[in-house]
Amino acid sequence: MKFFASCGKGLEYLLADELMVLGCVRATATVAGVNVEGGLADAQRAVMWSRLASRVLWPLADFPCADEDTLYRSVAALPWASHLAPGRTLAVDARVSGDGITHARYAAQRVKDAVVDSLRADTGTRPDVDLESPDLLLNLVVRKGRAVLSVDLGGGALHRRGWRRAQGEAPLKETLAAAVLLRGQWPQVHAEGGALLDPMCGSGTLLVEGAAMAADVAPGLLRHGGLVPSRWNGFDAEGWAALRDEALERERAGRAALRPVFFGSDVDPAALHAARENVEAAGFIDVVRLEERQVAALRPMAQVRGLVASNPPYDARLAADAQLYRGLGDALRRIAPYWRASLLCGSLELARATGLRPQKVYQVFNGALECALLVVDPVQPPLREDAGPRPLSPGAQMLANRLRKNLRASKSWRAREGIGCYRTYDADLPEYAAAIDVYTEADDPDAIWLHVQEYAAPADIPDADVRRRFGEVLAAAREVFGVPRERVATKVRARGKGGSKYAADAALRRGETIVVREGAARLRVNLFDYLDTGLFLDHRPLRARLQREARGKRFLNLFCYTGAATVHAAVGGAATTTSVDLSATYLQWASDNLRGNSVDGRPLGGSRHRLVQADAIAWLEGDAGEYDLVFCDPPTFSNSARADDFDIQRQHVRLLRAAVARLAPDGVLYFSNNYRRFRLDAGAVAEFAECEDITAETIPPDFARSPRIHRAWALRPRAVSTTV
């Protein structure tokens, strides 16, 4: 079976890891939640033990849902007498999107009506509605014309642990507090004898969550003593009782061993009063020490190692400013230089104001507010000759400002299209002639790598100025993205015969690859070891087009490189794919890319996906196959020892003629190249193909500043007229 665990945005991968540790078969992160494979026992264990999940939803039905009437009929048809016993209460939560059903409250009402009418018809009685504490809480999601109706196994929001008696002005959800602690590796820090400090503790949420983790107290026990959370007939009450007994035993042992290593302070007496009430309600008053104290007046910590976990103010109501964050960073370096720190900051700018050097920065959401979770280890890095935060030079600061402007401008596009690999700068400022590409790991959206390509400077620019400017490029990029030096690949792009080429520093070769995601495709890239990374980012729209058109087609990829276009065609449902390249290295890379993807749960590969090592033109002229969809992105030139020299300008007509000859009558060939001085011989091509320039449709927004990055055409076989 599959069920769904929802969570706050930014916590998905943490939750997936947690659920796997809890014993689920598989957990796959999606937006604001995790799709989980496992049985009812796994789902109930998640209700008891998950510190990150907002809800655990067990599906009852999944059906097409065009309008409210369809919703009512589909829900009413379910066997509700088997789900809810007479005399028990009901409530419905709903989320809807799309044109068919537009009002969530009305959708919830229709579901309630359907359940009530069905039970009245079957049993002669109807359940009452209880919005506060229902016996059965149903969850409805309607999206893209489909509805999923589920049982909320936890009976409500799981972040409500049950211990909160008072709250401050801007309370932190318990689930997000748990994420701050887990990102800071609090369980490991505690196991090693470390302490926990929150110097801006507010109502004490981080301290209570940290103590509960350390004492091995299940969140499900804190919620109303671990009583059965749902009266749904399908709920395994005996299994829950066993979970509760196990959790109680673990709690007894954990609380008995708990050490008084929890410290909180705040300048607000009312916040501290709330914290004491909450700590006492959770049963940790004997191990948590609270005091009223300014951050600047904090005393050095006695423990050599520990974790500082805090949620400094950033809501407009609390009037956050950069000076507050600078003071926090200064204080932590003074009182806990060898500790870890996990700080939930209101923005990346506020996180930077701390002056701390992050090991990682995560994007998370506190409600609707986008925040930066800064993880530092240690707070004060050991001094090294090349270490220590240095202020950016005026030029680097100017470049950093431009990078931030570009990121803001592209943010909505990247979110809407799910773009994780993109160009964010391309010589926007003439004196900083470089291109900066961002690559995000497929399985960790917070893991960012940079690929920085320096354009060769004119000969009249002094070498010292060239080195200084490129150093400023790197400093600005690392400052803006918060990435360590080892995640920045640098290349020099110099002008060569027929176009541009890259000069890679052999000393940087590391044999390291990462997997990125582009739409439905997972692709392996190497940022350090080759002239290019294995993925041409400017061809992203053209690869998406191939995927859309590939279903049921015979696909041919000429000069296939690492097979990215082949993977897109394959995941798009191509009947067969054939990929041709002269390089054994590229073909192996293409094979790895295929195997890293699947369709209907089966890895790509085998006889349906053929890899051919050959010179593309010679192979075409000797091949007798027929193809419906062809992609051809040749190099500008090639002088391989295993084939005749190739020059795209001189040989493109021969290449295209041979490729079009292999097309089915209604097939299409997409031809692209990035030689800026290329001129298509339209007259010669017109003899055998209808040719349409589609360049404007294939340049993505992140390359709009470089519209000549490539040109592209769609070629179709010219119909042969016959005279009778």
Question: What domains can be seen in the chain, in order of their start residue?
Answer: 2-152 (3.30.2130.30), 174-215+260-376 (3.40.50.150), 394-508 (3.30.750.80), 536-717 (3.40.50.150)
The 3-state DSSP class for residue 161 equals coil
Determine the Cα–Cα distance for residues 34 and 45; give it in Å rounded to an integer.
15
Q: Check whether 495 has a pLDDT greater than 50.
A: no
- pLDDT value for 494: 46
Task: Answer whether residue 510 shows pLDDT above 70.
Answer: no
**How wide is the angle at C-alpha 483 spanned by C-alphas 303 and 34, nearest 5°?**
85
Kind plus residue range of the DSSP H or E element containing 474 = helix 463-481
CA angle, residues 221, 222, 225, in degrees to nearest 5? 55
Distances from the Cα of 635 to the Cα of 127, 640, 678, 704, 710, angstroms: 70, 12, 12, 22, 11
- The strand ranges marked E within 511-582 are 514-518, 521-525, 554-558, 576-581
Residue 497: predicted pLDDT = 35
Report the distance separating Cα 101 and Cα 584, nearest Å.
Answer: 54
DSSP 382: P
CA angle 6, 183, 52 (to 5 degrees): 20
Per-residue model confidence (pLDDT) at position 409: 94
Looking at residue 717, its pLDDT comes to 96
Nearest to 379 by CA among 309, 329, 310: 329
The pair of structure tokens assigned to 178 is: 């748990």
Distance of CA 653 to the CA centre of its chain: 43
Which pLDDT band holds residue 1 (cuts at 50, 70, 90)? confident
**What per-residue confidence (pLDDT) applies to 707?**
73
DSSP per-residue letters across 325-376: HHHHHHHHHHH-TTSEEEEEESSHHHHHHT----SEEEEEEETTEEEEEEEE
Q: Is residue 584 pLDDT above 70, yes or no?
A: yes
Mean pLDDT of 652-656: 96
pLDDT at residue number 461: 83
Coil, strand or helix at 65: coil
Single out the residue of 324, 327, 307, 711 nearest to residue 542, CA to CA: 711
The pLDDT assigned to 493 comes to 55
Residue 179 pLDDT > 80: yes
- Give the lowest-confidence range in 188-197, 386-395, 555-564: 386-395
Residue 359 has pLDDT above 60, yes or no: yes
34-47 pLDDT, tens digit per residue, is 999 999 999 999 99
Radius of gyration of the chain from Cα atoms? 30
Tell whether pTM > 0.75.
Answer: no
Which pLDDT score, from 0 to 100, does residue 500 have?
A: 37
Q: How high is the pLDDT of residue 389?
A: 56
| Angle, CA of 390, 391 and 394, to the nearest 5° | 140
Please state, in angstroms and rounded to a whole number, the distance separating the CA atoms of residues 35 and 280: 36
- Determine the pLDDT at residue 643: 60
Instruction: Answer whether residue 161 shows pLDDT above 50.
Output: yes
User: What is the DSSP code string of 391-412?
Assistant: PPPHHHHHHHHHHHHHHHHHHH
Whether the CB-CB separation of 238 and 276 falls below 8 Å is answered with no
Question: pLDDT value at position 348?
Answer: 86
CA distance 659 to 643: 18
pLDDT class of 455 with cuts at 50, 70, 90: confident
pLDDT given at position 444: 87
User: How confident is the model at residue 202, as a pLDDT?
Assistant: 93
pLDDT, residue 491, reads 81
Cβ neighbours around 133 below 10 Å, total: 11
Q: CA–CA separation, 138 vs 576, rounded Å?
A: 44
Chain segment 244-284, per-residue pLDDT in tens = 999 999 999 999 999 999 999 999 999 999 999 999 999 99
Distance CA 237, CA 326 (A): 52
Tokens of 98: 């799309």
C-alpha distances (whole Å) from 670 to each of 65, 628, 680 are: 39, 11, 14
Q: How far apart are CA 569 and CA 669, in angstroms?
A: 14
**Which has the closest alpha carbon to 708: 682, 677, 665?**
677
- Tell me what the mean pLDDT of segment 10-32 comes to: 94
Query: At residue 650, what is the residue type?
Result: R
Q: At 41, list the tokens.
A: 């026992």
Residue 524 has pLDDT above 80, yes or no: yes
718 or 505, which is more confident: 718
Flag whether pLDDT at 501 surpasses 60: no
Give every CB contact of residue 632 below 8 A, 6+ residues apart in sequence. 558, 559, 616, 655, 656, 659, 669, 670, 671, 672
Q: How far apart are CA 28 and CA 30, in angstroms?
A: 7
Q: pLDDT by residue (tens digit) across 302-357?
A: 888 999 999 998 754 444 567 889 889 999 999 999 999 999 998 888 888 899 99
Rounded distance between C-alpha atoms, residue 150 and residue 138, angstroms: 6
When the pLDDT of each residue in the chain is averaged and rounded to a whole number, the result is 90
Q: Are 183 and 344 in contact (CB under 8 A)?
A: no
Q: What is the mean pLDDT of residues 273-301?
A: 95
Lowest mean pLDDT among 115-119, 401-405, 540-544, 598-602: 598-602
Dump pLDDT digits (tens) for 189-240: 999 999 999 999 999 999 999 999 999 999 999 887 889 999 999 999 999 9
Query: Does residue 298 surpass a pLDDT of 50?
Result: yes
pLDDT score of 720 = 58
Contacts of 310 (CB under 8 A, 6+ apart): 197, 198, 199, 200, 201, 206, 328, 341, 342, 343, 344
CB 342 within 8 A of CB 308: yes
Given a cut of 90, is residue 559 above it in pLDDT? yes
pLDDT of residue 171: 78
